[in-house]
């Protein structure tokens, strides 16, 4: 029995997942809902981009001469993104518990955002 996927992609039920899904499982914890917070929305979007880019490029280059190194770097990037996700989830918990989230963790998110200061959506006020 096969499952009908999107387009022509089909997989026999019970078969192993594709390499990308096995190597790069769904990231955890889930990213928080920004609820109008532009800084949080920006950082969440960049984390998603990094995760997707790392997995895509690792899959593209894994069978090339330096493919194993690319996969290791992609896994490292995904681990860094997981750590950022933990900080964002903690911020979201604190924000839910108190209308004024602790300024220290907000400052941490601002500092994380500087990793993408060359992005056109990054705001100067986040770096100060």
pLDDT for 20-70, tens place per residue? 889 999 999 999 999 999 999 999 999 999 999 999 999 999 999 999 999
Q: What is the DSSP string of 32-95?
A: PP-TT-HHHHHHHHHHHHHHHHHHHHHHHHTTSTTHHHHHHHHHHHHHHHHHHHHHHHHHHHHH
Q: What angle do the packed helices 103-113 and 67-97 form, to 10 degrees?
A: 150
Split at pLDDT 50, 70, 90, the class of 104 is confident
Residue 98 CB neighbour total at 10 angstroms: 9
Number of Cβ atoms within 10 Å of the Cβ of 55: 21
pLDDT bracket for residue 4 (50, 70, 90): low
Q: What would the two tokens of residue 25 be?
A: 């499982």
What is the residue extent of each domain of the chain? 35-127
pLDDT 10s digits, 115-128: 999 999 999 999 86
Nearest 5°: phi and psi at 54? -60, -45
Q: Which residue do the tokens 């895509």 mark?
A: 56
């Amino acid at each position: 029995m096969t499952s009908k996927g999107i387009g022509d992609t089909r997989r026999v039920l019970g078969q192993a997942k594709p390499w990308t899904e096995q190597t790069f499982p769904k990231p955890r914890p889930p990213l928080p809902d920004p609820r109008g917070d532009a800084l949080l929305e920006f950082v969440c979007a960049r984390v998603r981009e990094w995760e997707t880019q790392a997995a895509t490029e690792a899959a593209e280059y894994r069978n090339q001469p330096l493919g194993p190194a690319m996969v290791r770097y992609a896994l490292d990037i995904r681990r860094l993104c997981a750590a950022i996700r933990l900080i964002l989830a903690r911020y979201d918990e604190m924000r839910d518990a108190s209308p004024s989230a602790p300024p220290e963790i907000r400052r941490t998110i601002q500092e994380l955002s500087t990793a993408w200061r060359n992005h056109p959506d990054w705001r100067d006020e986040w770096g100060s």
